[in-house]
Amino acid sequence: MNTRDLEYLVALSDYRHFGKAAQACFVSQPALSMQIQRLEAVLGVKLLERGNKSVLLTDIGLAITERAQHILTQVNEIHDLARLAKDPYSGELRIGVIPTLAPYLLPLIIPPLSQQFAKIHFYLVEEQTAYLIQKLKTGVLDVAFLALPVEEPQFITEFLFEEEFLLAVPKKHPLAQQKTIQQKDLKLQNLLLLEEGHCMRGQTLALCQQMQAFEVQNFRATSLETLRQMVASGNGITLMPQLAQQSNDGISYIPFSPPKPVRSIGLCWRASSVKDVLFAALVLQIKNIIRQKIG
Protein backbone atom coordinates (compact mmCIF):
# COMPACT_ATOMS: atom_id res chain seq x y z
CA MET A 1 0.00 0.00 0.00
CA ASN A 2 1.30 3.45 -0.93
CA THR A 3 0.03 7.02 -1.10
CA ARG A 4 -1.01 6.58 -4.73
CA ASP A 5 -3.41 3.81 -3.66
CA LEU A 6 -4.88 6.19 -1.08
CA GLU A 7 -5.26 8.92 -3.71
CA TYR A 8 -7.25 6.54 -5.92
CA LEU A 9 -9.53 5.61 -3.01
CA VAL A 10 -10.15 9.24 -2.05
CA ALA A 11 -10.88 10.12 -5.68
CA LEU A 12 -13.48 7.34 -5.85
CA SER A 13 -15.03 8.68 -2.66
CA ASP A 14 -15.23 12.17 -4.17
CA TYR A 15 -16.55 11.24 -7.62
CA ARG A 16 -18.37 7.94 -6.93
CA HIS A 17 -17.55 6.99 -10.51
CA PHE A 18 -14.54 5.00 -11.81
CA GLY A 19 -14.23 6.95 -15.05
CA LYS A 20 -14.30 10.38 -13.41
CA ALA A 21 -11.98 9.29 -10.61
CA ALA A 22 -9.50 7.86 -13.12
CA GLN A 23 -9.60 11.09 -15.12
CA ALA A 24 -8.95 13.13 -11.97
CA CYS A 25 -5.97 10.88 -11.13
CA PHE A 26 -4.63 10.94 -14.72
CA VAL A 27 -4.74 7.15 -15.10
CA SER A 28 -6.85 4.76 -17.14
CA GLN A 29 -10.04 3.38 -15.64
CA PRO A 30 -8.81 -0.27 -15.76
CA ALA A 31 -5.58 0.72 -13.99
CA LEU A 32 -7.46 2.48 -11.20
CA SER A 33 -9.93 -0.40 -10.82
CA MET A 34 -7.12 -2.96 -10.65
CA GLN A 35 -5.22 -0.95 -8.04
CA ILE A 36 -8.33 -0.66 -5.84
CA GLN A 37 -8.83 -4.42 -6.08
CA ARG A 38 -5.21 -4.94 -5.00
CA LEU A 39 -5.75 -2.56 -2.08
CA GLU A 40 -8.81 -4.57 -1.01
CA ALA A 41 -6.73 -7.76 -1.22
CA VAL A 42 -3.94 -6.24 0.90
CA LEU A 43 -6.38 -5.00 3.55
CA GLY A 44 -8.58 -8.09 3.40
CA VAL A 45 -11.83 -6.09 3.35
CA LYS A 46 -14.30 -4.93 0.72
CA LEU A 47 -14.03 -1.17 0.28
CA LEU A 48 -16.60 -0.63 -2.46
CA GLU A 49 -20.03 -1.71 -3.61
CA ARG A 50 -19.76 -1.70 -7.38
CA GLY A 51 -22.93 -0.85 -9.32
CA ASN A 52 -23.61 -0.34 -13.02
CA LYS A 53 -23.53 3.44 -12.88
CA SER A 54 -22.17 4.47 -9.50
CA VAL A 55 -19.78 3.45 -6.75
CA LEU A 56 -20.77 3.19 -3.09
CA LEU A 57 -18.28 2.84 -0.28
CA THR A 58 -18.87 0.21 2.38
CA ASP A 59 -18.88 1.28 6.03
CA ILE A 60 -15.26 0.19 6.44
CA GLY A 61 -14.47 1.79 3.10
CA LEU A 62 -15.79 5.13 4.36
CA ALA A 63 -13.78 4.85 7.58
CA ILE A 64 -10.56 3.96 5.72
CA THR A 65 -11.12 6.73 3.17
CA GLU A 66 -11.43 9.30 5.97
CA ARG A 67 -8.11 8.13 7.43
CA ALA A 68 -6.57 8.10 3.94
CA GLN A 69 -7.54 11.74 3.40
CA HIS A 70 -5.86 12.73 6.67
CA ILE A 71 -2.71 10.81 5.71
CA LEU A 72 -2.58 12.49 2.30
CA THR A 73 -3.04 15.90 3.92
CA GLN A 74 -0.11 15.22 6.24
CA VAL A 75 2.05 13.99 3.36
CA ASN A 76 1.25 17.15 1.41
CA GLU A 77 2.11 19.25 4.45
CA ILE A 78 5.53 17.57 4.66
CA HIS A 79 6.19 18.55 1.05
CA ASP A 80 4.85 22.04 1.77
CA LEU A 81 7.13 22.44 4.79
CA ALA A 82 10.19 21.54 2.76
CA ARG A 83 9.23 23.84 -0.12
CA LEU A 84 8.16 26.73 2.11
CA ALA A 85 11.47 26.58 3.95
CA LYS A 86 13.06 27.55 0.64
CA ASP A 87 10.37 29.98 -0.56
CA PRO A 88 7.11 30.62 1.38
CA TYR A 89 5.57 32.33 -1.67
CA SER A 90 5.63 29.42 -4.10
CA GLY A 91 3.69 26.26 -4.94
CA GLU A 92 -0.03 25.51 -5.21
CA LEU A 93 -2.81 27.30 -3.37
CA ARG A 94 -6.27 25.70 -3.45
CA ILE A 95 -8.91 28.33 -2.73
CA GLY A 96 -12.61 27.84 -2.06
CA VAL A 97 -15.17 30.62 -2.59
CA ILE A 98 -18.91 30.73 -1.93
CA PRO A 99 -21.08 31.19 -5.07
CA THR A 100 -22.56 34.54 -3.97
CA LEU A 101 -19.04 35.97 -3.84
CA ALA A 102 -16.94 34.14 -6.45
CA PRO A 103 -18.13 35.81 -9.71
CA TYR A 104 -17.66 39.30 -8.27
CA LEU A 105 -14.63 39.02 -5.96
CA LEU A 106 -12.34 36.72 -7.97
CA PRO A 107 -12.07 38.98 -11.06
CA LEU A 108 -11.04 41.80 -8.72
CA ILE A 109 -8.38 40.00 -6.72
CA ILE A 110 -6.91 37.16 -8.79
CA PRO A 111 -5.14 39.30 -11.46
CA PRO A 112 -3.27 41.48 -8.91
CA LEU A 113 -2.59 38.50 -6.63
CA SER A 114 -1.19 36.50 -9.55
CA GLN A 115 1.11 39.39 -10.31
CA GLN A 116 2.13 39.90 -6.68
CA PHE A 117 2.65 36.17 -6.03
CA ALA A 118 3.99 35.06 -9.40
CA LYS A 119 5.27 31.69 -8.12
CA ILE A 120 1.90 30.67 -6.69
CA HIS A 121 -0.42 28.51 -8.82
CA PHE A 122 -4.00 29.35 -7.83
CA TYR A 123 -6.66 26.63 -8.02
CA LEU A 124 -10.19 27.94 -7.48
CA VAL A 125 -13.28 26.04 -6.31
CA GLU A 126 -16.75 27.63 -6.20
CA GLU A 127 -19.09 25.76 -3.86
CA GLN A 128 -21.55 26.27 -1.04
CA THR A 129 -20.37 26.82 2.53
CA ALA A 130 -20.89 23.31 3.93
CA TYR A 131 -18.86 21.73 1.11
CA LEU A 132 -16.01 24.24 1.46
CA ILE A 133 -15.79 23.74 5.22
CA GLN A 134 -15.66 19.96 4.81
CA LYS A 135 -12.94 20.17 2.15
CA LEU A 136 -11.00 22.67 4.24
CA LYS A 137 -11.10 20.32 7.22
CA THR A 138 -9.81 17.37 5.19
CA GLY A 139 -7.03 19.32 3.48
CA VAL A 140 -8.48 19.27 -0.04
CA LEU A 141 -8.59 23.08 0.17
CA ASP A 142 -5.95 25.32 1.72
CA VAL A 143 -8.08 28.37 2.35
CA ALA A 144 -11.63 29.61 1.74
CA PHE A 145 -13.54 32.86 1.41
CA LEU A 146 -16.63 32.51 3.61
CA ALA A 147 -19.35 34.69 5.09
CA LEU A 148 -18.76 35.22 8.80
CA PRO A 149 -19.15 34.06 11.47
CA VAL A 150 -17.64 30.60 10.96
CA GLU A 151 -17.97 28.52 14.12
CA GLU A 152 -15.14 26.04 13.58
CA PRO A 153 -12.54 25.90 16.39
CA GLN A 154 -9.91 24.23 14.17
CA PHE A 155 -9.93 27.20 11.76
CA ILE A 156 -8.20 30.54 11.87
CA THR A 157 -10.51 33.22 10.48
CA GLU A 158 -9.30 36.63 9.34
CA PHE A 159 -11.87 39.35 8.69
CA LEU A 160 -11.45 40.93 5.24
CA PHE A 161 -14.29 43.38 4.60
CA GLU A 162 -17.92 44.27 5.13
CA GLU A 163 -20.24 44.33 2.15
CA GLU A 164 -23.53 46.23 2.10
CA PHE A 165 -26.77 44.71 0.92
CA LEU A 166 -28.60 46.83 -1.66
CA LEU A 167 -32.25 46.67 -2.62
CA ALA A 168 -32.54 45.60 -6.28
CA VAL A 169 -35.79 46.64 -8.00
CA PRO A 170 -36.94 46.94 -11.64
CA LYS A 171 -36.46 50.41 -13.16
CA LYS A 172 -40.25 50.97 -13.21
CA HIS A 173 -40.83 49.86 -9.62
CA PRO A 174 -42.39 52.50 -7.29
CA LEU A 175 -39.24 52.43 -5.10
CA ALA A 176 -36.81 52.77 -8.03
CA GLN A 177 -36.50 56.57 -7.83
CA GLN A 178 -35.59 56.71 -4.16
CA LYS A 179 -32.02 57.74 -3.31
CA THR A 180 -32.01 55.55 -0.22
CA ILE A 181 -34.34 53.00 1.28
CA GLN A 182 -35.35 52.56 4.90
CA GLN A 183 -35.96 49.12 6.29
CA LYS A 184 -39.54 50.09 7.16
CA ASP A 185 -40.18 50.71 3.42
CA LEU A 186 -40.02 46.95 2.86
CA LYS A 187 -42.71 46.10 5.39
CA LEU A 188 -45.09 43.53 3.84
CA GLN A 189 -43.06 43.46 0.58
CA ASN A 190 -42.36 40.07 -1.05
CA LEU A 191 -38.70 39.38 -1.86
CA LEU A 192 -37.09 36.83 -4.15
CA LEU A 193 -34.47 34.75 -2.30
CA LEU A 194 -31.89 32.04 -2.94
CA GLU A 195 -32.54 28.34 -2.39
CA GLU A 196 -31.47 26.32 0.65
CA GLY A 197 -27.73 25.71 1.04
CA HIS A 198 -26.58 29.27 0.39
CA CYS A 199 -25.40 31.05 3.53
CA MET A 200 -26.78 34.28 2.07
CA ARG A 201 -30.28 32.79 2.19
CA GLY A 202 -30.10 32.66 5.97
CA GLN A 203 -28.83 36.23 6.12
CA THR A 204 -31.56 37.60 3.86
CA LEU A 205 -34.28 35.61 5.63
CA ALA A 206 -33.18 37.17 8.91
CA LEU A 207 -33.33 40.61 7.30
CA CYS A 208 -36.83 39.89 5.97
CA GLN A 209 -37.99 39.05 9.48
CA GLN A 210 -36.34 42.18 10.83
CA MET A 211 -38.01 44.36 8.16
CA GLN A 212 -41.34 42.48 8.38
CA ALA A 213 -40.99 41.50 4.73
CA PHE A 214 -41.83 38.11 3.23
CA GLU A 215 -40.23 35.56 0.91
CA VAL A 216 -41.86 34.81 -2.44
CA GLN A 217 -43.05 31.24 -1.84
CA ASN A 218 -43.28 29.90 -5.39
CA PHE A 219 -39.70 30.65 -6.45
CA ARG A 220 -36.18 30.07 -5.12
CA ALA A 221 -33.11 30.93 -7.16
CA THR A 222 -29.98 28.82 -7.55
CA SER A 223 -27.74 31.88 -8.05
CA LEU A 224 -27.57 35.65 -7.75
CA GLU A 225 -27.58 35.86 -11.54
CA THR A 226 -30.98 34.16 -11.64
CA LEU A 227 -32.25 36.67 -9.09
CA ARG A 228 -30.83 39.48 -11.22
CA GLN A 229 -32.64 38.29 -14.34
CA MET A 230 -35.92 37.88 -12.46
CA VAL A 231 -35.70 41.44 -11.14
CA ALA A 232 -34.62 42.88 -14.51
CA SER A 233 -37.63 41.26 -16.18
CA GLY A 234 -39.99 42.86 -13.66
CA ASN A 235 -40.77 39.69 -11.72
CA GLY A 236 -39.87 40.84 -8.24
CA ILE A 237 -37.38 42.57 -5.97
CA THR A 238 -34.47 41.21 -3.97
CA LEU A 239 -31.41 42.02 -1.88
CA MET A 240 -28.04 42.08 -3.64
CA PRO A 241 -24.54 42.28 -2.13
CA GLN A 242 -22.65 45.40 -3.15
CA LEU A 243 -20.02 43.63 -5.26
CA ALA A 244 -22.76 42.07 -7.42
CA GLN A 245 -24.09 45.49 -8.45
CA GLN A 246 -23.98 46.15 -12.20
CA SER A 247 -24.81 49.11 -14.41
CA ASN A 248 -27.11 49.04 -17.44
CA ASP A 249 -28.85 45.80 -16.44
CA GLY A 250 -32.34 47.26 -16.11
CA ILE A 251 -32.17 47.32 -12.32
CA SER A 252 -32.09 50.13 -9.76
CA TYR A 253 -29.77 49.33 -6.83
CA ILE A 254 -30.81 51.38 -3.82
CA PRO A 255 -28.62 51.67 -0.71
CA PHE A 256 -30.20 51.48 2.72
CA SER A 257 -30.08 54.38 5.13
CA PRO A 258 -28.37 53.55 8.45
CA PRO A 259 -28.38 51.06 10.00
CA LYS A 260 -27.24 49.46 6.75
CA PRO A 261 -27.63 45.67 6.42
CA VAL A 262 -24.21 44.11 5.73
CA ARG A 263 -22.43 40.80 5.55
CA SER A 264 -18.88 40.16 6.74
CA ILE A 265 -16.45 38.24 4.54
CA GLY A 266 -13.41 36.46 5.91
CA LEU A 267 -10.56 34.18 4.89
CA CYS A 268 -10.45 30.84 6.74
CA TRP A 269 -7.75 28.18 6.99
CA ARG A 270 -6.77 25.30 9.25
CA ALA A 271 -4.90 26.35 12.37
CA SER A 272 -2.49 23.48 11.68
CA SER A 273 -1.62 24.71 8.17
CA VAL A 274 2.04 25.31 7.38
CA LYS A 275 1.18 28.15 4.98
CA ASP A 276 0.39 30.78 7.61
CA VAL A 277 3.09 33.18 6.38
CA LEU A 278 1.58 33.12 2.89
CA PHE A 279 -1.96 33.54 4.25
CA ALA A 280 -0.95 36.61 6.27
CA ALA A 281 0.51 38.19 3.14
CA LEU A 282 -2.63 37.32 1.15
CA VAL A 283 -4.90 38.90 3.75
CA LEU A 284 -2.92 42.14 3.63
CA GLN A 285 -3.02 42.30 -0.17
CA ILE A 286 -6.72 41.42 -0.42
CA LYS A 287 -7.65 44.09 2.12
CA ASN A 288 -5.71 46.66 0.10
CA ILE A 289 -7.42 45.61 -3.15
CA ILE A 290 -10.91 45.72 -1.63
CA ARG A 291 -10.23 49.08 0.01
CA GLN A 292 -9.42 50.53 -3.40
CA LYS A 293 -12.49 48.97 -5.04
CA ILE A 294 -15.31 49.50 -2.53
CA GLY A 295 -13.77 51.67 0.18
Same-domain status, 260 and 114 = yes
Same-domain status, 75 and 104 = no
- Domain count across the chain: 2
Domain boundary among 81, 106, 131: 81
Same-domain status, 134 and 217 = yes
Residue 66 belongs to domain with CATH number: 1.10.10.10
User: What pLDDT does residue 247 have?
Assistant: 84
Same-domain status, 143 and 257 = yes
Q: Return contacts of 6-12, CB within 8 angstroms, 24+ apart.
A: 6/68, 6/71, 6/72, 7/72, 8/32, 8/35, 8/36, 8/39, 9/36, 9/39, 9/47, 9/61, 9/64, 9/65, 9/68, 10/65, 10/68, 10/69, 10/72, 12/36, 12/48, 12/55, 12/57
Same-domain status, 73 and 93 = no
Dihedral, CA atoms, 241, 245, 251, 255, nearest 10 degrees?
A: 60
pTM higher than the cut 0.95: no
Domain boundary among 81, 103, 133: 81
Same-domain status, 55 and 188 = no
Note down the domain range covering 30. 3-81
Same-domain status, 102 and 238 = yes
Quick check: 53 pLDDT over 90? no
Same-domain status, 155 and 258 = yes
Phi, psi of 252 (to 5 degrees): -100, 125
For residues 136 and 140, what is the distance between their CA atoms, to the nearest angstrom?
6
Say how many CA atoms lie within 13 Å of 180 toward its Cβ: 10
Q: What mean pLDDT is predicted for residues 53-73?
A: 88
Which tens digits make up the pLDDT trace of 250-274? 899 999 999 999 999 999 999 988 8
Same-domain status, 238 and 180 = yes
Which tens digits make up the pLDDT trace of 17-30? 888 888 989 899 89
Q: What mean pLDDT is predicted for residues 200-216?
A: 91
User: What pLDDT does residue 52 have?
Assistant: 65
Quick check: 81 pLDDT over 90? no
Quick check: 295 pLDDT over 70? no
Same-domain status, 69 and 106 = no
Which tens digits make up the pLDDT trace of 139-156? 889 999 999 999 999 999
Same-domain status, 118 and 151 = yes
Residue 249 belongs to domain with CATH number: 3.40.190.290
Phi, psi of 225 (to 5 degrees): -65, -35
Domain boundary among 64, 81, 98: 81
Mean pLDDT across the chain: 91
Q: What mean pLDDT is predicted for residues 168-191?
A: 91
